[in-house]
Amino acid sequence: MQKIKLIHEVRAVKNRRELANIIKAQRISERVLKATLLKLKTGITELAVEAFIKKSFIKLGAPILSFSPIVSFGKNTANIHHVPGKTKLKRGDIIMFDFGCTVNHYCSDMTRTYFWGELSKKQKKVYKDVLQAMDLAIDKIKKGEHSAKIIDKVARSFLSKKYKNNFKHGLGHGVGTVIHEWPNFKPKSEDILPVGCVMTVEPGIYLKGFGGVRIEDMVLITKKGAKNLTKVAKNLKSVIL
């Protein structure tokens, strides 16, 4: 006899139309990100960039956002849930964007970290490590791993060797009509990813007084592995502005 499913398990599995909405929301976000990068200039404030992002989503027909956009510059990037303020962009800053929009109630979620000019050795190292943690986790999913705890651990154990327990949040979460839904990548998660669910993979390292790096993609869990739904470059070269 098949176990009766609970509502969170039912809604985790996206049908074709639901998936199309999530992907459409993600493509709109990608267009907004592209436009936002062109808008950056030394001296611009986080608030001005946030306003531009919101205006751009309205212009592209997606005025309802997944959550209030995160725009952070410099040391503020060390704050996981930074609220954009009057901080101005300056040479050598880390820049973090975390935003998404909704299409027919379905959310998208993406984080990118950029560098305003030549990066320091330490910035380069932290970025490369977070990117590698992400690649390790996505490769694990692609090989068919469905245990949330094991996938979380792949990224977490790689980062904890270098940064102790600095990676202070889950590796990711399900995405649907709400931005955070079941299942969850966490060290103690008992969740098993069902085929057809959309997960974020978003490792991060946050160093007080220095800044933070978080990179976040959305991944569809498939029978054979995974399909990355995020189409924005994240290699080191592409994030130096």
Residue 26 found at the interface with Mn ion (CB under 5 A): no
Tell me, what amino acid is at 30?
Answer: E
Least spacing, CB of residue 118 vs Mn ion, in Å = 29
Of the pair 78, 198, the CB lying nearest Mn ion is at 198
Residue 184 found at the interface with Mn ion (CB under 5 A): no
Of the pair 72, 89, the CB lying nearest Mn ion is at 72
Q: Where are the alpha helices (DSSP H) in the chain?
A: 7-12, 16-39, 46-59, 121-142, 148-163
DSSP 3-18: PPPPHHHHHHS--HHH
Least spacing, CB of residue 183 vs Mn ion, in Å = 13
Residue 36 found at the interface with Mn ion (CB under 5 A): no
Residue 29 found at the interface with Mn ion (CB under 5 A): no
Contact map string, positions 80 to 109, toward Mn ion, x by CB under 5 A:
-----------------------------x
Size of the site for Mn ion (CB under 5 A): 2
Contacts of 55 (CB under 8 A, 6+ apart): none
Least spacing, CB of residue 214 vs Mn ion, in Å = 9
Of the pair 49, 199, the CB lying nearest Mn ion is at 199
Q: How far is CA 96 from the centre of its chain?
A: 10
Whole-number Å distance between alpha carbons of 84 and 180: 21
Radius of gyration (Cα) for the chain, nearest Å? 17
* Binding site residues, Mn ion, CB under 5 A: 109, 200
